Structure 1
């Protein structure tokens, strides 16, 4: 059975025309005038491969992601080595415009087989031509050698928590500082698409939204290590230095944080630093439930993709009569949204006035009786004086209150051996970071 192909543009010597006449494994079902027409044809279930003979510079990671989500592999023709490298970076199989029809047909067949192998739901016998509403698209075109390295050496820590200000940003920022104090190279990423606040917490007057800049470059296949380091703002403390990709400055800019582009940013970050700490948003709703268009941008894509790619996930909740039930419900939502994640649960703002005498013991007993099967791994004490001092000075706890119980609790948490999931986790050599100087 031949592979239906749609094309756009005319290549040298009308290669696509000769492909139409080739009695081989592919069959050209439509020739489009522009990429928008090609996208519409693919989303209508007309094809399983797309050949871009002209205009490959208009291809982006988000567009390739949308095509991959409906089971369409992309092959582009170009004679530029730079453009070929860019296309490989966004998951597109690239060939020279002078390739013969038989070789192009083989390339198309290989790209389709590779895409089907990456996701069983995209195999011919199970593909209806429409996107799976529950699927979070990923850039999956091209051969393994053409895909960006998603593994890398760096480890990803995601900090998530339910609505209600449980302390996600405070925990993520101070984790990054403690890891940097241990001598690790660290990148802090603000991926909260509702209320990004890392820049404000660190006293950074940054209206540029570093993560949005990185995502734009990644979407175009132009994000290299130098560009990533140039965009990420350095934060210098007396104990160490780390870098920050600040979040979007207005919540209505959430469309700039596309899942495909964020995946490429994190893949590049893994190659540049040892640890990436992500401050995620709270919402785990599947955006497809909120819109009839399964290919529309997703408000919660940044949070869901961060959790999917994380090596370690910390779930933080406030230790009071409102925060604990929210965390319990949130963990059930987390398990439904990202079932492969086994979070490390942290109760923050632990205080006797909200829980009663021996608050840690009471919280643990209540959790064991009424909570989910995920165990508690840490308690962080309420320390408003130290937290306020750090916020007021735009600094972190290791500078504003190095001896505070809260700072010591975060240091012990991030530097203790952590529970592994399917990938390896971050380990520190000591139970508490060493403050230099």
Structure 2
């Protein structure tokens, strides 16, 4: 069966004619004058492959992701090594303008077969050569296993921790920011990402200026295929504490900027984050709806794409809920939604703001008993005590708990979530007691 192909730009007539004279592998069904016409033709189901001979500089990761979603592979013709590298980064296979018709037809056939069989797209960065078709697509994500990716591949890569929780301010941002601080104090390189598309607040919690949305800038460069490790580090804000330093990608400054956080671009940002940081901590939004009812265009931006994609890509997901009569039912319902939206996620459930005044005597025991009786299959992993005085002091000073309240039980409980036991027991400035520090003078 012949593969329908659309082209855009002034490709060589002998190339298009050569494709037609092959009588079988591919068939050119339309020659488009501009990229918008090609996109419309592909989304109408007219073609399975698109050959871009001109206008390749207008291709973005989001556009390529839209084409991939309707089963269309993109192959661009260029003789520029720099443009070839950029195109491969956003998921476009690149061929020389002097390519022979038979070679181009074979490349198209292989790419279409690969996309149909596995959902993968050709030409992604990281392939060994230009003919490799085995790299995953921008819009495709691997199944989360909870394991550190550094142990699975030949090149060491950082892991991603996503902190999620249902509506109602269960304390996602406080937990995410302090996890980042504790890991940095442990000596790891850390990137904290604010991916909440409803109420980004990492910058405010850390006392940072939020005029520039770091994550939006990174997504914009990633969408164009221009985000490398150095660019990501330049965009990120450096936060220095007494115990360690980490980087932050601040969130969007207004809720109506959520369209800048597209799934394909965010995927590339988090891929780069794995390269520059041992751990990337993502503070996500609460909503898990797929937004399909918001529009008829399946390729349109999705309000919750940043949250869903972060959870899909995460190696570890912490589900944070408030330990009270409102927060617990919300968390139970939220975990059911999470299981439906991101079935590969295996969340570690964290009860936050635990206090006897809201739960009764022996709050941890009562919460465990209620969870075992009414809660979902995911077990409770940790309990974070309510400590409004320590939390307020940290917020007032724009600092983390390890600085403003290093001996608080809340801070110690958050550290216990992510830090190695050996490191927690070390007699360092961060983890030693007040008495030990006084003894040292």
**1:115 is the counterpart of 2:115:** yes
CA distance in 2, matches of 1:234, 1:221: 24
1:90–1:148: 8 Å Cα contact kept in structure 2?
A: no
**1:404 is the counterpart of 2:385:** no
CA distance in 1, matches of 2:121, 2:349: 32
Give the 3-state SS of the residue equivalent to 1:82 in structure 2. helix
Counterpart in 2 of 1:28? Answer: 28
- Which has the higher mean CA deviation after the structures are superposed, 8-17 or 282-291? 8-17
Alignment of 1:1-400 (within 5 A): 1-12=1-12, 14-119=14-119, 140-142=121-123, 144-145=127-128, 147=135, 153-400=157-404
Displacement of 1:118:
2.4
CA distance in 1, matches of 2:193, 2:103: 43
CA distance in 1, matches of 2:169, 2:425: 26
CA distance in 1, matches of 2:136, 2:3: 26
CA distance in 2, matches of 1:432, 1:16: 69
Gaps of 5+ in 2: 142-148, 150-155, 431-436
Equivalences, count: 407
Displacement of 1:41:
0.9
CA distance in 2, matches of 1:51, 1:343: 42
Displacement of 1:268:
0.9
Change in Cα spacing, 1:208 to 1:356, as seen in structure 2 (3 Å) is: same
Counterpart in 2 of 1:134? Answer: none
Give the 3-state SS of the residue equivalent to 2:160 in structure 1. strand
2:89–2:123: 8 Å Cα contact kept in structure 1?
A: no
Give the 3-state SS of the residue equivalent to 1:196 in structure 2. coil
CA distance in 2, matches of 1:95, 1:432: 56
Displacement of 1:24:
3.7
Query: Which whole-Å deviations, capped at 9, do the CAs of 1:14-40 have from their partners, x for residues lacking one?
Result: 523432333241111111111111111
CA distance in 1, matches of 2:321, 2:277: 28
CA distance in 2, matches of 1:218, 1:118: 24
Give the 3-state SS of the residue equivalent to 2:423 in structure 1. coil
TM-score, with length taken from structure 1: 0.90
1:74–1:142: 8 Å Cα contact kept in structure 2?
A: no
CA distance in 2, matches of 1:314, 1:158: 6
Give the 3-state SS of the residue equivalent to 1:430 in structure 2. helix
CA distance in 2, matches of 1:91, 1:70: 15
Displacement of 1:87:
0.3
Displacement of 1:435:
3.5
